[in-house]
Amino acid sequence: MNSLNLRFFERPDVLAIAHELLGKHVFTRIDGELTGGRIVETEAYRHEGDPSITLHLQRKAKQAQGLYQPGGTAYLYTVYRVHTLFNITTYDAAHPDTVLIRAIEPLEGLDVMLRRRGLAVVARNLTAGPGVLSQALGLTPALTGELVAGPHIWFEDHEEKILPDNVIASSRVGLEYAGAEAVALPWRFRLKDSKWTSPAK
């Protein structure tokens, strides 16, 4: 296995990055506790042709400055005053492109994740969905601006090969407010054979 370096995220094609993150592993070390797992679902957001990003930059103007960072920077913000969403910037500081990590297969630090989530047993609802995923990994908006190359957040390539026919591309979740064009974009990527993806919408 190899740690993903920042060059992986500095490439200009955010759709390719979101797709290629499937099967990679993400880890956090928060307050000395290691947690992580295999990425099974992502969403891409691109500054060109994506009304949802335009609205996000308008509605969360102060927070959204975190998108104008070099590729490989954590961007975490809260929705509904409850759920923290874990994004990674891509490309460069001039382009507000990002990948949202929506779900992982939990593999490391299961006891820690269960405690953070207030759950008794490992099941799909532990890490299937961006809000619960961030809670399980101990991620908060305070980590915005951290590079995802350690020591608190990092990604690893375990050399898993994901076949194209094992990836489902579909509409992203919860973007009705951004209009039909944003909803129609098939920029949500899931592993077809995984029981750990978030519920279909």
Q: What tens digit of pLDDT does each residue of 9-41 get?
A: 999 999 999 999 999 999 999 999 999 999 999
Report yes or no on 198 lying in a domain.
no
Report yes or no on 126 lying in a domain.
yes
Q: What's the pLDDT score for residue 64?
A: 84
Q: What's the pLDDT score for residue 101?
A: 98
Report yes or no on 199 lying in a domain.
no
Report how many domains make up the chain. Answer: 1
Mean pLDDT of the chain: 93
Q: Is the dihedral of CA 117, 118, 122, 124 positive or negative?
A: negative
> What tokens appear for 128 in the block?
């299937």
CATH of residue 96's domain is 3.10.300.10
The per-residue pLDDT for range 165-179, each reduced to its tens digit, is 999 999 988 777 777
Residue 110's domain comprises 2-191
Q: Between β-strands 153-157 and 2-3, what pairing exists: parallel, antiparallel or unpaired?
A: antiparallel
Quickly state the pLDDT bin for 201 (edges 50, 70, 90): low
Q: Do 52 and 178 contact (CB within 8 A), yes or no? A: yes
Tell me the helices (H) and strands (E) count for the chain, helix number first: 5, 9
Quick one: 49 exposed, middle or buried, by C-beta within 10 A (0-12, 13-18, 19+)? exposed
Q: Do 65 and 77 contact (CB within 8 A), yes or no? A: no
Report yes or no on 127 lying in a domain.
yes
Report yes or no on 176 lying in a domain.
yes
Which string of DSSP letters, residue by residue, matches 41-72? Answer: EEEEE-SSS-HHHHHHHHHTTTGGGGGSS-TT
